[in-house]
Structure 1
Amino acid sequence: MARKIGSRYTAHQILGRGSAGTVWLGEGPDGPVAVKLLREDLASDQELVGRFVQERSALLGLDHPHVVSVRDLVVDGNDLALVMDLVRGTDLRTRLDRERRLAPEAAVAIVADVADALAAAHAAGVVHRDVKPENVLLDMQGPLGPGGSHPALLTDFGVAKLIDSPRRAPSGAPGARASATTTRIIGTPDYLAPEIVEGLPPRAAVDIYALATVLYELLAGFTPFGGGHPGAVLRRHVTETVVPLPGIPDELWQLMVQCLAKAPASRLRASELSLRLRDLLPLLAGMPPLDVDEPDEPEPEQSSAEPAPEAESPRRRGVVPLVPGSATDSNRDTHTSMRVPGPDELAGGALGTARVPRPAGGHRPGSARHRAETARKRRLALTAGAVALAAALGVGTWLATSGDEPPPQDTKHSTPAKP
């Protein structure tokens, strides 16, 4: 059923639902558009509406071939909406779910497009803060690029920033002081830069870290620090180093390591990353997807960091709804909201928690699956040994008893006795 969005737009059908709102296929004065209608509880938050209006000029000013442009921001009664360009295609998460891993050439070409988009945004003073496959759209009507990749466009600029702000209690109200000092994290755990986890303000470098994580995921089929409890994921970002991917060219790996550095100043700028990635494309031409399997699930661990709701998709660990009780869906516009862990929570364990890629068909040493497989092989070996021992004992028994019997007579070749 069609509904009016402000005075200039009409929303005709739902394209997807997410934790922040609903995306509609709409119509405006200049033709088809995508309308992201934010949740009513967000629209009723006057403080958020104020930030929404403040971000208007910055968001409307982002004009780049690899950015899904925001055409308008609508505040009308209970409606709070972003009107965006309509991209005829799919999101990168959908492609990744379908193919599991991409060939290096296609993965690097897509990430280079996104780096171009970030370079334009950063030059305009805008930090995305939620770079992930769900927020990368592939234009299926655009020309094919290296490795058969479709043009990639980055969307949802400003959404995380609009939502991410501590609510201030009225002056003198109970809890006002606590509210002002409470620091929370808004984002998707698998892609959060260490400085965000430590409570520092997000700068342009957080987008580079997230984009390098996306590149790792496109190549491997899993993120370097994801898996398990969201609190454990946040801790890995701070305490663990990324594990090399087998079969990846060293030049590409060193570039990824630099962009996944714990120190923001050590990472490349978006424009530098784009140039370096495009320089590597000839080296990657024709390479097949990497042959690695996803690491085994980490052992369950407790974290005092406040978790997000438990409704998670098994294939997208760490991607959880912002709203308690809501489930993730095809739109995957999802975040987690949790307090910043304390220093003791980020200290890590003695054994570490890094996710180690393993060769196809194998299990990570020390993992639950590896221990189960080792136990199974031990049982098989014991069973085989018992069978061999039983067979040996059986032969020995036959030899021992056969000595008491006369040898059989061969009547066919025997010589008759003389009379």
Structure 2
Amino acid sequence: MARKIGSRYTAHQIVGRGSAGTVWLGEGPEGPVAVKLLREDLASDQDLVERFVQERSALLCLDHPRVVGVRDLVVDGNDLALVMDLVRGTDLRTRLEHERRLAPEAAVAIAADIADALAAAHSAGIVHRDVKPENVLLDALAPAGPGGAPPALLTDFGVAKLIDSPRRTRATAIIGTPDYLAPEIVEGLPPRASVDIYALATVLYELLAGFTPFGGGHPGAVLRRHVTESVAPLPGIPDELWQLIHQCLAKAPASRLRAAELASRLRELLPSVAGLPPLDIDEHTEEMYEDDSLSPENPAPEETTAPAPVPAAGAVPLVHSGAGPDSNRDTHTSMRVPGADELAGGAHGTARAPRSPGAPRAGSARHHRPTPERRTRLGVLSALLVVLLALTVLFIAL
């Protein structure tokens, strides 16, 4: 059913849902638009409405071919909405769900487009804060680029910052999606432009590998890995590309590249990855608990929101309390920042090293599965213990 959004726009049908609200196919004075209508409880927050209005000028001025443009911000009664350019196509998460992983040339081309978008935003003083496949749209009507990849556009600028209202989150809360959070965010530092570079490098790693470098298991464990573990190399890509990803996943924000330099370097690497097939590495099927500190008897620290069921691969999404259905995992999560002792409690090392299909992961439960000989010895020892116990009981009875 159609509904009016302010005096200039009409929303016709819902095309997506997220924890922050719903996305509608709409119509405005200049033609079709996408309308992101925020939840009613957000619209009723006067502090957020004021922040919404303050962000209006910056978001309207962000004009770049690789950015989904914001045409208007509407505050009308209980309606709080972003009116955006309509992109005909799908999001990057949907493509990953269909293809699992992309050929390196397509992955690098998409990452270069998003780096261009971030360069424009950062030069305007805007930090995205929630770069992830759900927020990357692929324009199906535009000519394909390198590797057959459609042009990629970054959307949802400003939404994470709007949701991060002082009334809604404490100073010890995290806003974002766990798989893509830079370590400095986990440690409670304010978000700078470098957090977007870290998130984009995580997305590029996921496009190539089919899983994120630090994801999997309890969200608390994901956050800790960002801080304590190093990223595992990806086999089958040029060393120059791996070094670029590795640098942008550095724990120290100052060690990462700036967005403009990252875009330039990625495009320089396109000829070296042209024609390469998608990587042939093991599917992401890591065990839920990778060490004793995260066993069912020793769960990760309590979070401010309950974790969603862990998918087989990709992001570990959390839904903000009070959120409705989250069909596209467009999440802005509020989580407690782990304490220093909690962050230091995990194993230090390399996270989730890719391996050849079928090979066990070193340190995993499968890796330490008893051999037949060991099982035989254990069986004999168990039998001897039973006999000794029986003799002891008999001796006591006599």
Same-fold call, TM cutoff 0.5: yes
3-state SS in 1 of match to 2:343: coil
Q: Select which of 238, 255, 258 maps to 2:227.
A: 238
Q: CA deviation at 1:311?
A: 2.5
Q: CA deviation at 1:327?
A: 4.6
Relative distance call for 1:38 and 1:375 in structure 2 (3 A) is farther
Q: Select which of 352, 366, 370 maps to 1:369.
A: 366
Q: 2:271 maps to what in 1?
A: 282
Matched to 1:243, the amino acid is A
Matched to 1:10, the amino acid is T
Query: 2:271, 2:254 → 1: CA distance?
Result: 29
Give the percent of matched residue pairs that are identical in Structure 1 and Structure 2.
77
Query: After TM superposition, which residue ranges in structure 1, 4 or more long, deviate above 6 angstroms?
Result: 376-380
Q: Select which of 320, 343, 346 maps to 1:322.
A: 320
3-state SS in 1 of match to 2:12: strand
Q: Indicate yes or no: 2:351 matched with 1:354.
A: yes
Q: CA deviation at 1:295?
A: 5.0
Q: CA deviation at 1:307?
A: 5.1
Match runs of 1:183-194 below 5 Å: 183-194=172-183
Matched to 2:147, the amino acid is G
Range with bigger deviation, 302-311 or 107-116: 302-311
Listed as ranges, the gaps of 5+ residues in structure 2 are: 377-398
Query: 2:173, 2:308 → 1: CA distance?
Result: 20
Q: 1:392 maps to what in 2?
A: none
Q: CA deviation at 1:216?
A: 0.2
User: Do 1:295 and 1:357's aligned partners in 2 also have CA atoms closer than 8 Å?
Assistant: no
Match runs of 1:192-271 below 5 Å: 192-271=181-260
Q: 1:396 maps to what in 2?
A: none
3-state SS in 1 of match to 2:128: coil
Structure number with greater Rg is 1
Q: 1:404 maps to what in 2?
A: none
Q: CA deviation at 1:335?
A: 2.5
Match runs of 1:7-406 below 5 Å: 7-167=7-167, 182-293=171-282, 294-299=284-289, 301=294, 302-306=299-303, 308-312=305-309, 314=311, 315-324=313-322, 326-329=324-327, 331-350=328-347, 352=349, 354-372=351-369, 375=371
Render the CA deviation track for 1:282-320: whole Å, top value 9, x for unaligned: 000100111111252241612225153233351444212
Render the CA deviation track for 1:326-355: whole Å, top value 9, x for unaligned: 4531x2211321111110011033465722
Query: 2:164, 2:258 → 1: CA distance?
Result: 24
- How many residues get paired? 368
Relative distance call for 1:377 and 1:351 in structure 2 (3 A) is farther
Relative distance call for 1:377 and 1:5 in structure 2 (3 A) is farther
User: Do 1:216 and 1:224's aligned partners in 2 also have CA atoms closer than 8 Å?
Assistant: yes
Relative distance call for 1:26 and 1:365 in structure 2 (3 A) is same
Render the CA deviation track for 1:127-175: whole Å, top value 9, x for unaligned: 000000000000000111000000000000000000012218xxxxxxx
Render the CA deviation track for 1:210-261: whole Å, top value 9, x for unaligned: 0000000000000000111111111111111101011121000000111001
TM-score for the superposition, normalised by structure 2: 0.88
Matched to 1:29, the amino acid is P
Listed as ranges, the gaps of 5+ residues in structure 1 are: 169-178, 381-419
TM-score for the superposition, normalised by structure 1: 0.84
